[in-house]
Structure 1
Amino acid sequence: MRYKLINEAAERTYALIMDSGDEAVSSLQEFCEQQGISAARFSAIGAFSSVVLGYFNWDSKDYEKIPLREQVEVLTLAGDVALHQARPKIHAHVVVGKRDGSAHGGHLLEAYVRPTLEVMLIESPGHLQRTLDAESGLPLIDIDASGAD
């Protein structure tokens, strides 16, 4: 993965370009850890050779995996970064398009880039934190715990 800082204002903006074979979620996680990014939002377009989507099952409090083992276009990918247990945590949703024009979407669990994924990541000036939500069992953004106004 290659990246470039393209704006150094109050909200730093990065262009991240992932190449064939890069795993999107772990690459983004590693980038945020290396750059010390604790709060951000991002969007992306590109394509995957395979992707694993997730559907949150409220009853089991776990993600049901939906693997798509074929080339797909990334129609939209959007997410955020917030601290959870002192580390940046990636939360992303994606809609992908298949060859026949059908679309599939969900929580992005794993995806292998082919040929590229173009990510625009905008760092927030305040940090966000996630706190474990007792009802869902998920680490959700907690505005009160976040140092953001």
Structure 2
Amino acid sequence: MKSKILNQGPERTIALIFEKGDDVVSLLEQYARDHALSASRFSAIGALRGAVLGYFDWELKAYERIPVDEQVEVLSLNGDIALDGDEPKVHAHAVLGRRDGSTVGGHLLQATVQPTLEVLLIESPGYLRKTCNRESGLALIDVDA
């Protein structure tokens, strides 16, 4: 993955260019750790050779895994990076386009780039924290934390 700062502020804009074989979620979280990002949002387009999406089952309080074992276009990838405790955590949703024009979407659990993914990341001057929501069992952004 390559990066370039496009704008310094008050909200910093960073271009992240992922390359073939890059794992999207782990590299985003690593970049956030390495650059002390605590409150960011991002959007992206590109293509993947495969992904695992998730659908949150409210009754089970767990994600049902949706494997996508094919080359797909990233039609929409939007998310945020917030602190979960002291660690940055990616929360992203994706809509992926298949060869026949159909789509599949959900919470992005894992994705492998092929050939590229172009991410525009906006870092806010404040920070966001996630806290565990007792009802859902999910770490959700808590603006009062």
TM-score, normalised by the number of residues in structure 1: 0.96
Matches within 5 A, 1:1-149: 1-145=1-145
User: Which letter does structure 2 place at the counterpart of 1:104?
Assistant: V
- Aligned-residue RMSD, C-alpha: 0.4
Aligned partners of 1:111 and 1:66: how far apart in 2? 12
Gaps of 5+ in 1: none
How many matched pairs?
Answer: 145
5+ unaligned residues in a row in structure 2: which ranges?
none
Task: Give, in angstroms, the shift of residue 9 of structure 1.
Answer: 1.2
Deviations 1:119-148 (A, max 9, x none): 000001100000100000000000111xxx
4+ residue runs over 2 A deviation: none
In structure 2, what is the Cα distance between the partners aligned to 1:144 and 1:8? 27
Aligned to 1:101, the other structure's residue is in SS state: coil
TM-score, with structure 2 as normaliser = 0.99
Share of identical aligned residues, percent? 59
